[in-house]
Structure 1
Amino acid sequence: MNRHKNFIFHAALWLLIWVTAWIFTGSEIQFLDENSLVFVFQIAVIASLIYFTIPQLLLKKKYVLFTVVSVAIVIVATLILTNIIGDPLLGVNSDFGAGPDLGRRPGPRFENGPRMEANRRPPSRFFINLLLIVIAYVIATLVEIFLFAQRKEEEMIINKNEALQTELKLLKSQINPHFLFNALNNIYALSAIDAVRTQKSISYLSDMLRYVLYECEQEIVPLYKEIDYIENYIKLFSLKSSKKYPITTTFSIEDQNVPIVPMLLIPFLENALKHSNIEKIEGTFINLKISSFADGINFELENSKPEHSIVKDDVGGIGIENVKKRLAILYPDRHELVINETSLAFKVNLKLQLHE
């Protein structure tokens, strides 16, 4: 379909050029008689270019064959055109015969120089036809190459965007099963202790799954939904024990509808709950602070770090790297992630700039 549109474009372009030239020559019928066939042959060679030589040769990187075929098409078209029109200057129907030498007389002689002819002959009709067809062929080739390059660039941008979307979906798929695995482990541990709290945990998990399955399909969600998810996660975790875990949360939210990509913050909390040894309670802590303003969000999380590293399970370990990849894709040049680790604590500070 694009080839048809391109052909119509070139035909209209050369029609406009010839009509303009005809108007500037005084709209004489003789001009049309002498050049209408030239226009037809220009369109013919352009059609051969668009429908054959470019798609079958040039785009398949057969450059030598493309050059040979193009030269052949131009020369053959010029020969046929010249034989049809003829050359009135020569008095024959071909450019290869010589007519009578009419009206020639010697011209003036320059001092100590050769005598010049009074009537110099203009370029032959063959040369003029060749020039006009070559110009049309070259212009059409350049336009087609430009349009092809433009289409390839657009396809590259589309493919890049599709690749980014695919990667984002993959990253989300890595988050959700990991969360579900941890939540089910918590409920399993709780079921052996207290049935009432198990029911509450299932209720929390239901709300969280609703968020993951439905809300996370959106590109962005209001910040309050992400915070609700975090609070439910902490409640679900806290039901594991009758004792109060040393977890403090501070939310300073100017606008609860500030947009944020879903499931972006929870991996940091998962990491803190998993590696802070918070179940020990004594000598441990998790401090979470989220603040928002008109143009951004600040996320701060600090958790205690045990003297000896602990391994909860073999699953996990992908959360932080996952978030870094998502930030690079979704907030390029609009985020600042600082992670500080000491022998006693692990601290994360994330700043998001919401607008360019």
Structure 2
Amino acid sequence: MNKFIRLIIQVILWLAFGLIIWLNQGANSDILKENLVVFVSQLCLISGLIFFMASKLFFKKKYVLFTVVSVIAIIVTTYILTELFAMPIEPHQPINDFSSLPPESRRPPSHFLFYLLILTITYILALSIEVFIHLRKKEEETIKAKNVNLLNELKLLKSQISPHFLFNSLNNIYTLAGMDSNKTQKSIIHLSDMLRYVLYECEQETVPIKKEVKYIENYLKLFALKSSKDYPISIELKISNNSIPIAPMLLIPFIENALKHSNIDDKKNSFINIEINADDKNIDFKVENSIPQKSFIKDDVGGIGLENVKKRLAIIYPEKHMLEISESNKIFIVKLHLKLT
């Protein structure tokens, strides 16, 4: 809201207030003249406050100078008003102690105080409105700045994820190239689907859960092509609606983490179980992986870490998610609950 609009609003406010007072006083023409002059004085004070005093002094924390200039402006305006409506004492009125006063001072002593009170109230209310609008504007700017920072951070997190997946996938294809040409062709198809998802779908805030699941399946298929035997990896899906929205690339880091730390190449002594349950209100994700009893050389899968996912969850699903990470009986368990409504 610019300064001119704020001025118009306050003019309408005080004009309506003055009109009500005039009607209550009998709609007298003399009172109307006085009220109009008072209104013009109020308008001058409010204009000075909006266009200069508030922006140049008060909001720049020059409080002393603001107070001094404001007091002077109110007193001078009040004095001018008092002079315009000076009320000389009527001939039949007892002179008493006023006989010694000069002619220009023969007016009701409360006239000055009356205008001073009106203009002071006007000024304080106008200042209160300006402060309120200023605080609202600052709050909006702060919210916008936070949103921009969150979006920038989210883009940074996504930029860390995408090249990482591409790097791992290319490593897998490189391994296959010298072993089996058919598997290499299949892996390129899976990779093509994955890249299409990353490049074109992940720019959106949310994607249908069907596409996220498809990406996970392609990733696991690409991983499985490294060996001629099946990996002990199971995935169970219970999805009521394929269009349920979910933030892209949110679940795959947990699966990567399981692949990295479970020593899944030891097919007899390891396993990974993945479960995804989703309806229109909630998404529940669970991944379990075995914890190797012996140390082993870890695969290059992973590398981003769970901290990245935690940051994304805090940004995308604030107070609408619950992440539980636990370890029990040599099993590493991750449970993620997302509230969609």
Q: What is the aligned length?
A: 330
Tell me how far 1:51 sits from its aligned partner.
0.6
Please report the RMSD computed on the Cα atoms of aligned residues, expressed in angstroms. 2.1
Residue 177 to residue 90, structure 1, CA distance change in 2 (3 Å): farther
Question: Out of 230, 245, 250, which is 2:236 matched to?
Answer: 250
Tell me how far 1:147 sits from its aligned partner.
1.2
TM-score, scaled relative to structure 1: 0.87
Tell me how far 1:126 sits from its aligned partner.
2.1
Residue 173 to residue 90, structure 1, CA distance change in 2 (3 Å): farther
Instruction: Say if 1:168 and 1:326, in contact at 8 Å, map to a contact too.
Output: yes
Tell me how far 1:90 sits from its aligned partner.
4.3
SS at match of 1:278: coil
Residue 125 to residue 105, structure 1, CA distance change in 2 (3 Å): closer
Which structure 1 residue ranges, 5 or more long, are not aligned?
Answer: 92-100, 107-120
Instruction: Give distance in 2, aligned partners of 1:317 and 1:263.
Output: 15
SS at match of 1:255: coil
Match of 1:42 in 2: 42
Instruction: Give distance in 2, aligned partners of 1:305 and 1:330.
Output: 30
SS at match of 1:154: helix
Tell me how far 1:173 sits from its aligned partner.
1.4
SS at match of 1:217: coil
Tell me how far 1:239 sits from its aligned partner.
0.9
Match of 2:248 in 1: 262
Match of 2:340 in 1: 354
Instruction: Give distance in 1, aligned partners of 2:322 and 2:124.
Output: 52
Which structure 2 residue ranges, 5 or more long, are not aligned?
Answer: 97-106
Instruction: Give distance in 2, aligned partners of 1:262 and 1:48.
Output: 53
Deviations 1:297-354 (A, max 9, x none): 22121112222154434x9433311111122222223222221225733221222222
Instruction: Say if 1:87 and 1:124, in contact at 8 Å, map to a contact too.
Output: no
Letter in 1 for 2:208: P
Letter in 2 for 1:312: D
> In the alignment, is residue 159 of structure 1 matched against residue 159 of structure 2?
no
> In the alignment, is residue 69 of structure 1 matched against residue 69 of structure 2?
yes
Residue 143 to residue 309, structure 1, CA distance change in 2 (3 Å): farther
Match of 1:308 in 2: 295
Match of 1:98 in 2: none
> In the alignment, is residue 140 of structure 1 matched against residue 152 of structure 2?
no
Question: Out of 164, 168, 178, which is 2:154 matched to?
Answer: 168
Tell me how far 1:30 sits from its aligned partner.
0.9
Letter in 2 for 1:73: A
SS at match of 2:227: coil
Match of 1:192 in 2: 178
Letter in 1 for 2:186: K
SS at match of 1:351: strand
SS at match of 2:26: coil
Letter in 1 for 2:62: K
Match of 2:25 in 1: 25
Instruction: Give distance in 1, aligned partners of 2:92 and 2:116.
Output: 26
SS at match of 2:265: helix
> In the alignment, is residue 10 of structure 1 matched against residue 10 of structure 2?
yes
Question: Out of 188, 197, 204, which is 1:202 matched to?
Answer: 188
Match of 1:87 in 2: 86
Letter in 2 for 1:103: Q
Tell me how far 1:102 sits from its aligned partner.
4.9
Instruction: Give distance in 2, aligned partners of 1:65 and 1:47.
Output: 18
Instruction: Say if 1:275 and 1:310, in contact at 8 Å, map to a contact too.
Output: no
Percent identity over paired residues:
53
